[in-house]
Copies of this chain bind each other. A is one copy, B any other.
Amino acid sequence: MWEKNNTKKVVIIGGGLVGSICACFMAKRGYAVEIYEKRDDIRKTPEIRGRSINLALSHRGRNALKALGLEKEILDSAIPMKGRLLHSKKGKLKSILYDPSFNQCIYSVGRNYLNKKLIDAASSYPNVNIYFNRHLTRANFNEGTVTITDSKTCEESQVNADLFIGADGAYSKLRLAMQQTAQFQYTQLYIEHGYIEMSIPPENGNKMIPNHLHIWPRGKFMMIALPNSDSSWTVTIFMPFDIFENLTTGNEISRFFRETFPDSVDLIGESSILDIFMKNRPSELISIKCSPYHIGSKFLLIGDAAHAMVPFYGQGMNAGFEDCCLLDGILEKNNDDIAMSVEEYSGVRAVDAHAICELAMYNYIEMRDLVNTVGFRWRKCVDNVLFKWFPNKWIPLYNSVSFSSMEYSRCIQNRKWQNKIIYRSIISLGIIIGTLIVLFLKNVLN
C-alpha cells in the first residue's frame, strides 16, 4: 500500500484497456491509484469470447504505450497490416496499401493479451492497487464520493478520492449517473447493423495473404478478417439485423455464404459457420456522444465511457489511449490542479471525440461500399501522389487519423480543405481544356 502525505488519490472505475493504461499514467505522476474492476482478474480466468478480440493499434495508441515504455513489447507480438485486401465475389483479390508513400502500418493485436499486459504494467507500480469483482453502484457528486459494491459479498463501501475517472466502457455506470444531472448532453445510437464473429483456424490461416486487413465489401454489408499471432484469423461479418434474421436454416446460411463470400467458406469451414450462426445472435453496435466529460471538480469520463464509437475506423482504443496522454499533459501543464484540469480536458476533448465518432460512422460506408468504386480508387491515387510530394501539406484523411496525432476535428477540416482544392482544380482544368478546344476548332475552321 503506497501512500504519502499530500499525495493525490485517483480512483479509476474499470480495469479494461483504457482504465489500466490510465492507471499507469496517473501512477507515473505519483498519484495513489485505485482501480475497481467489476470482472475477475482476466490474468487468472479463461478467455471469454464475445467482445471483438482483435484491435487495430495505430499511431495514437502507440504514442501512449511509448510514453509508458510499453510500445516495443506490444508491437513485438502484434501483426502489422500494411493495407486492405479486397475480396471480390468472384474471388479476385486486390491490395490497397494504407500508405504506399511511407509504408506506415496499423497493427492487429489481441484484446485479452493487451489487457493482461496493461494490468501487469499497472500492477508493477507500487502506488497502484487493483480491486477485482468490485463495481460502482452510486456516484455521490455532492459529497465527492462513490459507492463501490463487492460483486461477490454485495458489501458496499464508500470511497473517497481527489479524482474519479470513469473508464467503465460503453455501458458506463458513472456516465449513467452523470446523465441524470442537469446540463448533461447525451446521445446513444444503436446502428441498424449487428455483427457475428467467426474464425479461420491456424491450419488455414496461411492460405490468407498476410499483413493485410481483409475485406469482403458487399455494398450494404461486409465481412472483414484480422490476423492473430497464432496464425488464425478473426472474421467478423457486419450486416443489417434483418438480413441476419432472414438466415434461419442451415441451408439458407450455406447458400448465403457460398453466394456472397464464396472464397471464405473453405477457410472458415462450413460446419463452423453453421454452428456459430445457429447458436449466436448478432451483437449490437452502439455509438455514444456526451458532454461535458466532467461533473464538478473531480468526476471525469474517458475512453468508451465518454465516446463509444462503431469500430470501423479502428480508433476506439486509440482514442481512449490518447485521452490518457492528453489528460496527463493537461495535469502536467496545470501543476496537478485537478479541478482546472478536468474542466480543460472536457472542453478540448469533446469536439475531437465527437469528430472521431462521426468519422467511424462514415468509414463503415467507405469499407463496405466505396472501396469498390472507381471514384474512391482515383481519389486514393491522387491523395497518395500529393502526400508523397507534400508530406507535410497534403495528409490524406486516413493517414491523418491513423498515422498522426492531428486533432480528429482538424482531420475533418483538413479533408474538407482538400476536397475544395480538388474540386476547384477539376473546374479549372475543365475551363482550360474547354478553351483549348475552342481555340483549336477556331484555327481549324479558319
Contact = CB atoms under 8 A, between A and B. Distances in A.
Interface of A: 171, 176, 179-180, 182-190, 284
A137 to B, nearest CB: 13
Contacts of A183: 190, 284
A189 B185 contact: yes
B180 A171 contact: yes
A188 B185 contact: yes
7 contacts: A182-B190, A182-B284, A183-B190, A185-B188, A185-B189, A186-B187, A186-B188
Contacts of A184: 188, 190
Contacts of A179: 188
A286 to B, nearest CB: 8
Interface of A is mostly: mixed
Nearest to A283: B182
A284 B182 CA distance: 7
Contacts of A189: 185
A354 to B, nearest CB: 13
A179 B190 CA distance: 11
Nearest to A290: B188
A187 B289 CA distance: 9
Nearest to A179: B188
A358 to B, nearest CB: 15
Nearest to A241: B183
A185 B180 contact: no
A189 B187 CA distance: 8
A188 B178 CA distance: 12
Contacts of A284: 182-183
A171 B284 CA distance: 26
A190 B284 CA distance: 27
A188 B182 CA distance: 11
Given A171-B180, A185-B188, A186-B188, 4 more contacts: A176-B176, A179-B188, A183-B190, A185-B189
Contact of A190 (B176, B185, B190): B185
A240 to B, nearest CB: 13
Nearest to A171: B180
Contacts of A182: 190, 284
Nearest to A281: B182
A184 B186 CA distance: 13
Contacts of A186: 186-188
